[in-house]
Amino acid sequence: MRPIVIAANWKMNTTPADAGGLARTIASRTREPGVTRVICPPYVSLAAVRDALAGEDVAVGAQNVHHELAGAYTGEIAAPMLAGLASWVILGHSERRAYAGETDAQVGAKLDRALAAGLRPILCVGEVLADREAGRATEVVDAQLRGALEGRDPVALSAAGLVIAYEPVWAIGTGRNARGADAAAMADAIRAGLRSLGWGGSAETVPVLYGGSVTSANVDEFLTEPAVDGALVGGASLKPDEMAGIVARAGLTARARGLG
């Protein structure tokens, strides 16, 4: 049975002074049996969020790690540095691919670092608008998956709880979400891609989330799709009312699937 996951990506928002309070408010308003909740604040707010969430069943995640273990990489953070601060990590977010030039090979190396550090990875994939309009969305996503996962051990990745987030780039932060049916079709394509990489039956156990302008008003469209197992939420994840609505809807899906 795949878990239902709602992960909050706060991106470059909040400070250590306000992040703890926001995390606590969100946690207290999103207690839904069967829903796995994750909050990913900026690095400098990880400790504040961890402390604020003590006693709450909400995981703390980082938004990235570097693909090397240590060295002359000014301004970067290596996976082992997150020990005690985070238990999840977002990898290959499209904003990192676009603004930091992250390649599929680097994203694959980050996966290795995350696993070695005991971090549960959320691997982000997604096409730009031109690719979707040209009918190449599945091909692009498949290439990203292959670039990051080929040659890596499905057993280890599966044991680490790999989560894949399908995030069409044209839907992120634009207010233009994908359709539920398209997200479900891509989730199916992602699992087919995993099978072609030798995952066998384990492909069915990997949670696939949708991300891209998710709100409490549109999340229903995604969570009614059996192939979709939750959401990676950006802008709306900074708003407690939105998170309360999104996680409440996720609770319905969790109950319908016999979780919680």
Q: Which residues form the interface with ligand PEP (CB under 6 A)?
A: 9, 11, 167, 172-173, 211-214, 232-236
Count the neighbouring beta carbons within 10 Å of the beta carbon of residue 248. 15
Q: Which residue is nearest to ligand PEP (CB)?
A: 234
The least CB distance from residue 190 to ligand PEP, in Å, is 16
Contact, 209 vs 253, CB < 8 A? no
The least CB distance from residue 96 to ligand PEP, in Å, is 10
Smaller CB separation from ligand PEP, 108 or 212: 212
| Structure-token pair, residue 175 | 């207010």
Of the candidates 123, 124, 128, 152, the one whose C-alpha atom is nearest the C-alpha of residue 140 is: 128
What DSSP assignment string belongs to 26-58?
A: HHHT---TTEEEEEE--GGGHHHHHHHTTTSSE
- State how far the Cα of 241 lies from the Cα of 148, in Å rounded to an integer: 35
- Which one of 127, 167, 225, 242 is the catalytic residue? 167
- State how far the Cα of 66 lies from the Cα of 142, in Å rounded to an integer: 23
Instruction: Check if 93 is active-site.
Output: yes
Smaller CB separation from ligand PEP, 243 or 259: 243
- Which one of 93, 95, 102, 242 is the catalytic residue? 93
Smaller CB separation from ligand PEP, 53 or 209: 209
Instruction: Check if 167 is active-site.
Output: yes
Smaller CB separation from ligand PEP, 4 or 233: 233
Q: Are strands 230-233 and 58-62 parallel, antiparallel or unpaired?
A: unpaired
The least CB distance from residue 210 to ligand PEP, in Å, is 9
The least CB distance from residue 233 to ligand PEP, in Å, is 5
| Structure-token pair, residue 235 | 């802008």
Q: Catalytic site residues?
A: 93, 167
